[in-house]
Structure 1
Amino acid sequence: MDTPKSPKLDIIIPAFRGHSQNFLMALDQIAEEDALKRVEGKTNHIIWMAGNFLDMRYAMGNVLGLDEEFEFRDYFFQGKALDENLDYPTLEQLRESFHKISPLVYRKLLEVSDEDLGKAFPMGMNIDFFPETVLNFVGMCIGREDYLCGQIGLMRRILGYEGIKYDFDKNMKY
């Protein structure tokens, strides 16, 4: 495993890499038409979930100093509600964005200092037990990614796909 400059990220690095693997495995073999299905009109579809996952990756990268913009930001920024009138990107387009941003964010996670992680990052939460710092924002993004992978995994089963296979690709370094 790569060693981060900041020991504060010792738990984040394996989570990030695990989420990368889970994300790809959760999307494995999902047909494009199924990726747009909703359950009784109440759930988000897999495309929205995958796009929101990527919005988290880009947000994490931005707070760590990357100047990358998610090309589908207008669809997903900050959990924007699903809009059935929009023509969402395809799973393939989202996978391409994933492979573009993920190695860049991973590199930033390895390079970021404790000092930078401790910097204020106002989120407007105003919760006394939750300091609004870069580190806590990264932690929130990791938590959201975990949630979204679980949601996609559940949708896989609802749509009749096999459960996620945990066949990790040890050569994928992000």
Structure 2
Amino acid sequence: MDRPIAQTLEIVIPAYRMHSQLFNNMLADLRESDAQKRIEDRTNHFTWMVGNLVNCRYWLADVFDIPERDPYDALFKDAKALDSTLTYPSLAELKEQWHKISPLLYQKLLTVDEPELNQAYAFGMDTPYVEENKRNMVGMCLDRESYLFGQLGLMRKVLGYEGVRYDLDDRLAY
């Protein structure tokens, strides 16, 4: 296993890599024609959730000054609500962006040091027990990803697909 310079991120690295893998597994065998379906027009569709996952990684990359930008930021920034009048990118396009930003962010997580993680970074939670710094931004991002993965797993079942598999691809090294 890769070891980060910042000891406080040791628990993050396996979770990050598992999320990278789960992303692929969530999309396995999903037909594009099902990606825009909603439950009784009250839920987000699969594409919106996947786009938010991608945007979350770009958001965290920005926290660490990685210059790459999400080309679909206008659709997903700040978990912008689904707008059924807009055209969303395909799952293939979103997957491409996921695999573009994820290895760059992974390398940063391995090389960031404790002083940088301790740097103040406001994220507007105003929660007295959550210090607003870069370290906790990493935690917030992983939490958001976990939340979206749960929704995607449920949507797979609702759409008639098998549940998400936890098969791992050792070639995915981020």
Normalised to the residue count of structure 2, the TM-score between the two structures is 0.98
What is the CA distance between 1:125 and its match in structure 2?
1.8
Structure 1, 123-132 or 71-80: larger mean CA deviation: 123-132
Match of 1:33 in 2: 33
**Residue 98 of structure 1 pairs with residue 98 of structure 2:** yes
What is the CA distance between 1:101 and its match in structure 2?
0.4
For residues 86-135 of structure 1, what are the alpha-carbon distances to aligned partners after superposition, in whole Å with 9 as ceiling and x for unaligned? 00000000000011000000000001010000000011221111110000
Q: How does 1:16-27 map to 2 (within 5 A)?
A: 16-27=16-27
The code of the aligned residue for 2:41 comes to G
**Residue 65 of structure 1 pairs with residue 65 of structure 2:** yes
Partners in 2 of 1:61 and 1:41 — Cα distance?
32
The code of the aligned residue for 2:54 comes to L
The code of the aligned residue for 1:104 comes to L
For residues 126-168 of structure 1, what are the alpha-carbon distances to aligned partners after superposition, in whole Å with 9 as ceiling and x for unaligned? 1111110000011000011011111111100000001111110
Match of 2:3 in 1: 3
Partners in 2 of 1:34 and 1:107 — Cα distance?
34
Partners in 1 of 2:96 and 2:171 — Cα distance?
18
Partners in 2 of 1:127 and 1:3 — Cα distance?
30
Q: How does 1:1-174 map to 2 (within 5 A)?
A: 1-174=1-174
CA RMSD of aligned residues (A): 0.7
Tell whether the 8 Å contact from 1:56 to 1:141 is kept in structure 2 after alignment.
yes
The code of the aligned residue for 2:61 comes to G
Number of residue pairs aligned between Structure 1 and Structure 2: 174
Percent identity of equivalent pairs: 47
Which stretches of structure 1, 4 residues or longer, exceed 4 Å deviation after superposition? none
Which runs of 5 or more structure 1 residues have no equivalent in the other structure? Answer: none
Partners in 2 of 1:64 and 1:13 — Cα distance?
16
Tell whether the 8 Å contact from 1:27 to 1:152 is kept in structure 2 after alignment.
no
Tell whether the 8 Å contact from 1:5 to 1:113 is kept in structure 2 after alignment.
yes
The code of the aligned residue for 1:70 comes to D
What is the CA distance between 1:85 and its match in structure 2?
0.2
Query: SS at 2:129's partner residue?
Result: coil
